[in-house]
Each structure stands twice: as C-alpha cells, then as structure tokens.
Amino acid sequence: MFSQPAVPSPETLPETLFLSFDAWEGPLDLLLSLARNQKVDLREISILALTEQYLEFIEGARQLRLELAADYLVMAAWLAYLKSALLLPQHEQEDPSPEEMALRLQLRLQRLHAMRDAAARLMARDRVGRDVFTRRKPEGLRLVKKAQWRASLYDLIQAYGQIRARTQPVVHTIAVRPVMTLDEAIQRVGSLVGTAVDWTRLESFLPPDLDTPKAKSALASSFVAALELARQGRLEMQQDGIFAPIYLRARAPNQGSAA
Amino acid sequence: MSMEPDDFLRAVEAALFVAEAPLTPAELKLHVGNGGDLDAALQALASHYAGRGINLVERGGRWHFQTASDLAHILRREKDEPRKLSRAAMETLAIIAYHEPVSRAEIDSIRGVQVAKGTLDVLMEAGWIRPAGRREVPGRPLIYATSVEFLTHFGLGSRRDLPGMDDLRAAGLLDPVDLALEGMGGQSVLENDEEEA
Amino acid sequence: MSMEPDDFLRAVEAALFVAEAPLTPAELKLHVGNGGDLDAALQALASHYAGRGINLVERGGRWHFQTASDLAHILRREKDEPRKLSRAAMETLAIIAYHEPVSRAEIDSIRGVQVAKGTLDVLMEAGWIRPAGRREVPGRPLIYATSVEFLTHFGLGSRRDLPGMDDLRAAGLLDPVDLALEGMGGQSVLENDEEEA
C-alpha cells in the first residue's frame, strides 16, 4: 500500500551502514531501514528476524569501533530482551507480553514509514516557487487609508493657550516700594529744624503715622538729609554713643559745627 | 445582454491578478463589492483558466493565480529552488500536517527520536507551521498545526487533499499506537488480519 | 469558441504572467524557445484578453499584462481611518483660527517654532484651512485662513465664538505651570512633526 522510495540495494546497504551513522535519525529509523530490506509488507514483517538483524548490525558497528549514540544501544538491549522473551517459553502472563511488545514495535514502524512516505509525496507536489509560479511583482491591492482627522474644540483652545503661555514676554514687575526721597527729607528736615531751638531727636522730624517700610525709608532719608544740612551749616547733630539716639538742633549763626 | 455580471467577473479577475497574496472571498469583496455572485464568478474564472498557461486555484479558502505546473521548466530560475528541507524537517512537517494539532512529544514518539529545536524553527520560519494553543494535559505542551501558507505552497485545497490522507486514516495509521492496540483488543497479537487496510 | 490553447501559447502566457517587467519578444524567446510563432501567439493572447479584467498590451516593443484601465478603482480602495492631529498641527490650526489670515512666517513667530511643511498639508487635507490669498509684503507670502468645515467640525457658529484671552486665562489655559511637563525643553527649532503612523 505504500510506494517504495528508492531504498539502498542489499548489496550496497552494509557498506553504507558502516560508513556513517548520521544516515539514520535514531534507532527506530535504522530498524525501519532494516525492516524494509525484508521486502515484505511491514504488517507481515518478522520482528524476530528484524531484531536479529539489528543486533548483528550493532555488533558489527561495535567491532569497527563506531561511535554509537546511547539510544542505539538502549534499543539493542531492549531488542535482546524482546528476542529472548519471544523465544523462551512463557511461564505466566507477563504484562506487557513479548508479543504485545513486538506488535507495538511493528505498529511504530508502520507509523514512521507512513509518515516518511507521506513526506516524500508531499515534497513531490507542485510547489509554489518551484513548480508553479505566482506573479513576481504584483502591483498589489491597495487599501488607501484616508485619514479622518479628529480634534476637539478643547484641543484647539488648549493648544492656543499653551502657545500664548509659552510665548508671552516675561514681564518682571517691580513693586513700587514706599520710600521717602532724599529731596523730600531735606525739605522736611530743613523746614522743621528751624522750629527746634533745643536738641530734638531725629525721629521727631519724621512724618507721623507711617507704616513700617515707609518709616524705615523716612528714617534713613532723614538721617542723610540731616548730614547734608549739617554740611551746609544749617544744623548741628549730636550722638552720645553707638546706636544712641541722634539729636538735631538749628545752628546759631555764631556757633561752630557740632561734634 | 447585461454588462453587469461581466464587469463583476472582470473586477474579480483584475483584483486576483494584482493581489500580493492569495485572497479570501471576504477580502475580495472589500475590493469588488457586492455587485455580483462572487462564488459563481470565481468558479467561472477557474474554469475559464483551466487548461491555460495560468490557472486560478483555491488553497485553504484563498484564491490566487499561478502558472500551470507543466510549464515549470520554462519558468524556473536558479534562485527559485526552495531551500532544501532536511529529512527530519520533512518528516516533522508531514507528521504535523497529518496529525495536527500535535505536540512535540507526539512528534517525537512517532519519529522515535527527539526533534531538534531548530527543526520546528525552520518550519515556523517558512511559515508552514504555527503554534495552535496548548494541550490540556500535565505540562500544557504547545501544539502545532499547519498554516494556510502550507496549503498554498504545497498546492492543497485543504488538509483533506493531503496525499493518501484517507488511506492512512482508514488504516488507523494516524492513530497512536496505544489506541491501535486497544482497537485490536490487546489480543491475538501476531495475527495481523484484524488490522485492515 | 476559443480553441484549446497550445503549449507554446500557454508558455508565452505564463512567462508574461510571472515576468517582473515588460518583455521584448527576444526576451520572451529566451524562455519559451522557438517552438512556435511568437508574434502570432502574442496577437492571439492580446485578442483573447481584450475585454477581460486583464489585458495584454504592448508598449514600446515590450509586452505585459495589466489590469483593464476601467478597473483602476478596485485596485485602490479608500478607507476612512480616524486619526488624531499632532500637537504641532493642533497649535498651527489654533494660531490660524485666532489670527487669520496669517502667513507661515507669522505662524512661526507666534509659535516660536518653525512649522513643518507637512503640518499645513495635513490641515489642508483635513479641510480645515485654506489659502486666503497673499500678503502684500516683500515675497508675497501665502496667507491662510480657516474654512467653513473648520467651523462645522469644531461646532462654532463663527470665529467670534472662539474663547478670548480672558476666557482662556480664567480656564487656567494660560497657566505656564504645566509647560515643563509638555516637554518644551526638547523642542528643536525646526520640529519634526511627521504625523504619527
């Protein structure tokens, strides 16, 4: 029922066998090659004869000191056991029986052979690119995707907001600080000192009810104003020690500078 | 006579001609619309091209034009020769195709040898096999199946067209050994006549 | 009707089908040999395919198959695909909307970033902006304005419905706090605003 692809002839087979073990894909494959040399349907194969052939073959390979993969030896051991079991009279029903083991092997060989044969027939089919050809440069069916652009009004105004936010010129607004200018202080201290005949504290020349920043500015400006007015000879200044209160008084026309 | 059906057929013909890959009827409809009976058009085209230098074929539910196989010799170029598969790869592919979906352990048990990692990779890279989920047994092994590209490449309308598929199935050769033994009742082990071809 | 094509004609047909480029009769002969009258085969094929979805045509002494010209529409099918505007496009559109009509240079100066050519194309393609003449300054640059479609898409009765600066400020949209998060630092002078995908 299976077509028989080219098998090595019996004359050439032994030589081929000894040349290389790479020719077989494992012990089952080797068994199948040997089985097919029996030239009978695999269903009628003699497992006993096959077993002997395999063991002979392995023995021959060993004598030639061929490197044998372990699974070939495992198969040999198993077949040796099977052979003795088949030959010896059966005492009691072993499980599995040697006959069943032999049948299993036969079934496996049939299945491997069936697939090998199927593979050969598959490969022999008209294959695309080897036997039949499709167009080498098809133009192709184009599915042109037409973009449906999506954007919401929110996206739009948010984008605009971001542009404005990032491109707005950065303005450094300097807060207008409450100050009393020097001119202002000179005028104020100059006019007030005329009324102060006796020593009067600098603080008394400041405008009343000032908040703190302005008060500090006024104090500093008034002090500088006092120095200026003293330099002009219009008033005298006096301080008893470091951080002590500063006193001012109008200068009498006949007096010299204060210490 | 109505021009309508003709134009529909012409559109199907043109679409299949320019397509870069085999097309399902659904894909074809996206282009040719519903202005005619697509199945009828495909059948009409297939029979029109039968016997010509170009044939219209269906593979795994997809349609494409290809050259007639008897013209291979005039069309084949050196570089067309597909990569040669190793014997292991060919057998593995056949096992997957005839048994799918199938796990690596099941492939191994048929071949009596462990399939090399690279073998499945080669078949996967060729686009002929694909992982097809996991088997719900301990270890949840990956299982493999063939692809549409496999059918296309090997000129198979479907897996039913796999050579010898029916015979193999009837002979029980696609059943696991255990199942086959069970079918024989585990008895009369050397009597082969229970296993019928 | 049509006679069964002979093998020579079939070979010519198949060779033209797989060819990567139009073939001269001399090139064809390299494939199909001299087993027949090539000119006659070409003429027979051309008339066989006339009126079908595929035609055999000669252009400058070279032969090739092509789809019938009236079927071009099925080879290019358009499909709407929703896409989001890039940020660059969104900003450009916003500037045009708030400042129209506005030239490209003006857009650049407001954005502080040069607008890529593609950005205006996208907005034009979307149908939201239109060229609105030229500014009468040296170089006479094109100026852009929004379209009726723009108003429709954004649900605006007119451009006056766009929120003003005060509204934007109130909504926190002028708040520069988030700018760092917007990756402003990475913006180069000529930004690359290729539309994604």
Q: Do A138 and B17 touch (CB under 8 A)?
A: yes
Return phi, psi of residue B8, to 5°. Answer: -65, -45
Q: Are residue C68 and residue C108 in the same domain, yes or no? A: no
Q: Are residue C159 and residue C62 in the same domain, yes or no? A: no
Residue B171 lies in a domain: yes
Whole-angstrom CA distances from B10 to B34, C51, C64, C73 are 14, 8, 18, 13
Residue B37 lies in a domain: yes
Task: Name the residue among C195, C180, C179, C190 with its Cα closest to residue C113.
Answer: C190
Residue B170 CB partners (closer than 8 Å, separation 6+)? B197
Q: Are residue B180 and residue B117 in the same domain, yes or no? A: yes
Q: Are residue B129 and residue B171 in the same domain, yes or no? A: yes
Residue C68 lies in a domain: yes
Q: Are residue B46 and residue B108 in the same domain, yes or no? A: no
Number of domains in chain B: 2
Taking only the tens place, the pLDDT of each residue in B174-190 is 998 888 888 776 444 44
Taking only the tens place, the pLDDT of each residue in A166-223 is 876 666 666 777 788 888 888 888 888 777 678 888 888 888 777 777 888 888 888 8
Return the sign of the alpha-carbon dihedral for residues B5, B10, B12, B15.
negative
Q: Do A1 and B167 touch (CB under 8 A)?
A: yes
Q: For residue C82, which residues of chain A lie inside 8 Å, CB to CB?
A: 148, 150
d(Cα A110, Cα A47) in Å, to the nearest integer?
A: 12
CA atoms within 13 A on the CB side of A25: 21
pLDDT of residue A199: 84
Rounded to the nearest angstrom, the minimum Cα separation between B30 and chain A is: 9
Q: Are residue C152 and residue C184 in the same domain, yes or no? A: yes
Residue B79 CB partners (closer than 8 Å, separation 6+)? none
Contact A138, B18 (CB under 8 A): yes
Q: Is the ipTM of this complex over 0.90?
A: no
Whole-angstrom CA distances from A110 to A170, B10, C57 are 89, 51, 56
Residue C150 lies in a domain: yes
* Sheet hosting strand B129-134, strand order edge to edge: B102-103, B142-146, B129-134
| 8-state DSSP, C127 | T
Taking only the tens place, the pLDDT of each residue in C18-31 is 998 999 999 999 98
Contact C129, C150 (CB under 8 A): yes
Rounded to the nearest angstrom, the minimum Cα separation between C34 and chain A is: 22
Task: Name the residue among B48, B49, B56 with its Cα closest to residue B19.
Answer: B56
Strands (DSSP E) found in A81-199: 142-150
Q: Do A141 and B20 touch (CB under 8 A)?
A: yes
Q: For residue C75, which residues of chain A lie inside 8 Å, CB to CB?
A: 139, 141-142
d(Cα B74, Cα C18) in Å, to the nearest integer?
A: 11
pLDDT of residue A169: 64
| 8-state DSSP, A10 | T
CA atoms within 13 A on the CB side of C112: 13
d(Cα B18, Cα A15) in Å, to the nearest integer?
A: 55
Neighbouring C-beta atoms of residue A219, cutoff 10 Å: 18
Return phi, psi of residue B145, to 5°. Answer: -140, 170
- Among B50, B74, B98, identify where a domain stops: B74
pLDDT of residue A209: 74
Q: Are residue B106 and residue B186 in the same domain, yes or no? A: yes
Q: Are residue C122 and residue C189 in the same domain, yes or no? A: yes
Residue B80 lies in a domain: no
Rounded to the nearest angstrom, the minimum Cα separation between A135 and chain C is: 4
Contact B42, B58 (CB under 8 A): yes
Contact A226, A218 (CB under 8 A): no
Q: Are residue C56 and residue C118 in the same domain, yes or no? A: no
Residue A39 CB partners (closer than 8 Å, separation 6+)? none
Residue C32 lies in a domain: yes
Residue C114 lies in a domain: yes
Contact C68, B10 (CB under 8 A): yes
Contact A124, B85 (CB under 8 A): no
Nearest-Cα residue of chain C relative to residue B67 = C14
Contact C87, C183 (CB under 8 A): no
Q: Are residue C191 and residue C105 in the same domain, yes or no? A: yes
Residues making up chain B, counted from first to last: 197
Contact A42, A35 (CB under 8 A): yes
Q: Do A129 and B82 touch (CB under 8 A)?
A: yes
- Among B51, B74, B97, identify where a domain stops: B74
Written as tens digits, the pLDDT of chain B (197 aa) is: 333 348 899 999 999 999 999 999 999 998 898 889 999 999 999 999 999 999 999 999 999 999 999 999 888 877 766 678 899 999 999 999 999 999 999 999 999 988 877 899 999 999 999 999 999 999 899 999 999 999 999 999 999 999 999 999 999 999 988 888 887 764 444 444 444 43
Contact C116, C190 (CB under 8 A): yes
* Chain centroid, CA B8 distance in Å: 29
For residue C39, pLDDT over 90 is answered with: yes
Q: In this structure, which amino acid lies at residue C80?
A: D
Q: Are residue C93 and residue C180 in the same domain, yes or no? A: yes
Question: Which chains are within 8 Å of C by 3+ CB pairs?
Answer: A, B
Q: What angle do the packed helices A47-63 and A98-123 form, to 10 degrees? A: 80
Q: Do C14 and B51 touch (CB under 8 A)?
A: no
* Chain centroid, CA B151 distance in Å: 3
Tell me the Ramachandran region of residue C85: left when phi exceeds 0, alpha when psi lies from -120 to 50, beta otherwise: beta
- Among B16, B50, B74, identify where a domain stops: B74
> What CATH number has the domain bearing residue C94?
1.10.10.10
Return the sign of the alpha-carbon dihedral for residues C12, C14, C18, C22.
positive
pLDDT of residue B70: 93
Tell the residue number behind the tokens 């595929």, with chain if given. Answer: C54
Q: Do C184 and A137 touch (CB under 8 A)?
A: no
Residue C170 lies in a domain: yes
**Any CB–CB contact under 8 A between C185 and chain A?**
no
Tell me the Ramachandran region of residue A223: left when phi exceeds 0, alpha when psi lies from -120 to 50, beta otherwise: alpha
pLDDT of residue B56: 97
d(Cα B129, Cα B123) in Å, to the nearest integer?
A: 6
| 8-state DSSP, B60 | T
Q: Do C74 and B14 touch (CB under 8 A)?
A: yes
Percent of chain C surpassing pLDDT 90 = 40
Q: Are residue B115 and residue B189 in the same domain, yes or no? A: yes
- Domain range holding B32? 5-74
